[in-house]
Amino acid sequence: MSAAQVNGRSFIITGAASGIGKQLATGLAQKGARLVLADLDLEALQTAFRESESLILRQMDVTSETAWAELVEMAVEAFGQLDYCVNNAGVIRPGFVLDSTPEHIRYHMEVNALGVMYGTHFAAKVMAGQGYGHIINIASLASIAPVQGLSLYSGSKFAVRGFSLAAGYELEEQGIHVSLLSPDLVHTPMLDVQLQYPEESALSFSGGAQPLTVEDVERAFYEVLRKKPREYCLPASRGWLAKIGSAFPGLGAKIGRIVKQKGLKRIKKRYQKREYHA
């Protein structure tokens, strides 16, 4: 998508202070988009971006329905419309089921799933009145294939995928597109978290020789803006493998045990030898 196609369009992006959200916001700002950027870490957001008439920064807890209602209302008041809503904010805390706590469960479901549902709901209310709009929900390949060691994260992202696809079917008659962007492991602060739990996170590192970069995700994001697919997996080959594993759970479990060892070896060889630099 060219700068001319983005210039003047209004976006909400959550989780914009770092990682994928920061990369998307930086690129869109350079193309002349009008942005409302939200993150729980306002200080990091203010360090990354300078507020202006076309770039608004807000501290926000995506698990709050009140905060969502206010954010969407403020975006419309500032820019007169809401063209895109990018539900990017997400968290991960690796851990096996027996090592998890109820707090861990709430943490994943409230931020990853509830946050996306609220964002989609409030954005869609405005977009339905406009008769157009595009909601992009950032998920993960863990939303397609169950990931051992990341069961809470995977479960929350499964919820995002199911909700996004169903919402897309409902909203298309209102002129609203809902797209799900599901990348493999990306070189972001989330990767740093997973490295602290190599046994639990091994499957995440079993894919390509190198993790995806935020630039890889940004390129896919512009494809999503242009084509408006219901689902976009990055890379497509891993997406198909995830779908096969999910369609045949017995086979998926066997594949998981095999590729887990691959992931562990990769972590030990590349990351634990300090070849990774945050």
Average pLDDT over residues 50-73: 98
The mean of the pLDDT values for the chain is: 92
Helix (H, G, I), strand (E, B) or coil at 147: coil
What share of the chain has pLDDT > 90, as a percent?
74
In this prediction the pTM is 0.92
- Are the C-beta atoms of residues 94 and 202 closer than 8 Å to each other? no
pLDDT surpassing 90 at residue 34: yes
Which SS3 state, helix, strand or coil, does residue 84 take?
Answer: strand
- Whether 193 and 149 have beta carbons less than 8 Å apart is answered as no
Q: Are 45 and 60 in contact (CB under 8 A)?
A: no
Q: What residues contact 52, with CB distance under 8 A and at least 6 apart?
A: none
Domains located in the chain, CATH noted: 3-189+211-247 (3.40.50.720)
If pLDDT is split at 50, 70 and 90, which confidence band does 202 have? Answer: confident
pLDDT-wise least confident of 87-96, 123-132, 189-198, 202-211 = 202-211
Residue 134 phi/psi, 5-degree rounding, is: -140, 120
List, by residue number, the catalytic residues.
153
Token representation of residue 259: 């590729």
CB 40 within 8 A of CB 59: yes
pLDDT of residue 275: 40
In the predicted structure, residue 190 carries a pLDDT above the cut 70: yes
Count of C-beta atoms within a 10 Å radius of residue 253:
12
For the sheet with 10-14, list strands across it.
55-59, 34-39, 10-14, 84-87, 133-138, 176-183, 231-234
pLDDT band at 274 (very low <50, low <70, confident <90, very high): very low
pLDDT in tens, 102-117: 999 999 999 999 999 9
pLDDT of 276 > 50? The answer is no
